[in-house]
Structure 1
Amino acid sequence: MRKRRHAASAERPAVVAGPRRRLVRSAVAGILACGALLVTQLPGGAQAAENPYERGPAPTQSSIEAARGPYAVSETSVSSLLVTGFGGGTIYYPTSRTDGTFGAIAISPGFTAYQSSIAWLGPRLASQGFVVFTIDTNTTLDQPASRGRQLLEALDYLTQRSSVRDRIDSSRLGVMGHSMGGGGTLEAAKSRPSLQAAIPLTGWNLDTSWPEVRTPTLVVGADGDTIAPVSSHSEPFYTSLPSSLDRAYLELNSATHFTPNSSNTTIAKYSISWLKRFIDNDTRYEQFLCPLPRPSLTIEEYRGNCPHNS
């Protein structure tokens, strides 16, 4: 018992008398006041430090639907003679250097197609704050597995050897592709789990099961697709992804397999939102993805998990 009393008394603060007590109280009050001042100053700075990858002004419905975002865009061509593993392409990037580095995306065309078929995505995405590489494949007949490898080769070139490598944060990368390039997008995501986002556009792949994918994936299908019907491609792609994964399925209304080959506001707005949300970790774009978009003149169906985990 004596030990308990002694321990308790040892934890009791010493009593300070008279003027000394007042001096201590004043000092404590001063420290608390400084602390309060610091706390009031923290939220803005803390929020800025919380997401150092945020780029551009706060988004609006009109800003994600616009043909161009807030960044001026430059471009540079990459000859197939200067690269290995893929067929060269065009890099689109924000001209400004004031915001530091950006996330990057490689985009593959589909079967028999060239980068010109997906070129509209280059400046549209880059103007929102990304470095975008639309590529040509080694041959126009390359299958999805090959296109997946080529997307990764393109990202490696972009981040390690390209003339814009110092503009890119190599930890924030994504892949997109149309048709067999969409199938290749899933292949790339499966092979490289560190990718931050994947978007197959009316994708085609004989492999329809993707439980190994760990990359947040937005699957885009078209209700009128007769080449890669959603029932045998996009829908099983989506449903086979892990249920714990951040994933979404956007089925375009009154669209075909080739809808992603032309400028399309619905594809652009949800691609921008997905890429911003997962490559830049920019939760300002969550509002366009959650709650889930409802069917409309341009959306046949939208499925996904909300709120997002990442």
Structure 2
Amino acid sequence: MTQADRFFGPLADVSADAGYGDDHPPRVGFFTDTSVCIGCKACEVACKEWNELPEDGLEFTGTSYDNTTQLGADTWRHVAFVEKQKPATTVDLGLPGVGPPDEQKDVAWLMSSDVCKHCTHAACLDVCPTGALFRTEYGTVVVQEDICNGCGYCVPACPYGVIDQRKNDGRVFKCTMCYDRLKVGEEPACAKACPTDSIQFGPLDELRERADKRVQDLHDQGVDVARLYGADPEDGVGGDGAFFLLLDEPEVYGLPPDPVVTTRDLGSMWKHAAAAAGALLGVAVAVFAGGRR
């Protein structure tokens, strides 16, 4: 099996590829159904409480009720509030309106709880020089804060802009999918706290089947804008361990439309570099030999 087969196809087994053998647990992940997100931020609070993350959202931002604004070293779950003109299909979903009562027919909130995608092919793993980032037996990607040296290579490597450094020491932090809870058979804190089941946790294959059915149900209800993001194992990152049901284009939610693993060309780059180095060495030997004559 080629590396491309492992990373970018239906046979992808990231845990086995990471060295866990055939007896590892099934790969787990998140399916976030934004159509039922109410923006309560219970997931943000639960994540901060369980992981003992510092506060970072007490200042008024001027952007609706979104006080944390984006994912970061101290915000591993971020609930986005997107105010926009309401398409006709959102009326059927009962999305809350904003503004004065006479304007609520035209404006709506789209809400979505964002998180690290735990990519099938994670560029952050490729570039980490210390092994601080590693793939767990559950297929998730975790940062070991006691090994991270703060080099920051993983920050620009992430196609989603998820990984962030803390200003006080430069080390990176992000969602671990509550690895400590998984080890004892508990679901992640955010999923457990979500009151509407917008955040669903479980084996990734089961979540993808459930998500496909949910999209079909919405289409049957006339909600044609519903689509999945990050669920396709043939996409630019081999599919995500955390994927979403969206009610608009990814860019509306602040997500890249076509994410691509940023280290996809590393292999060919090294081959070209080796070939160039070999050619230079050959020239140097030829020059040296000619000089001796």
TM-score range, shorter chain: under 0.3
Q: Which has the higher helix share?
A: 1
With normalisation by structure 2, the TM-score equals 0.22
With normalisation by structure 1, the TM-score equals 0.21
Which of the pair has more CA radius of gyration? 1
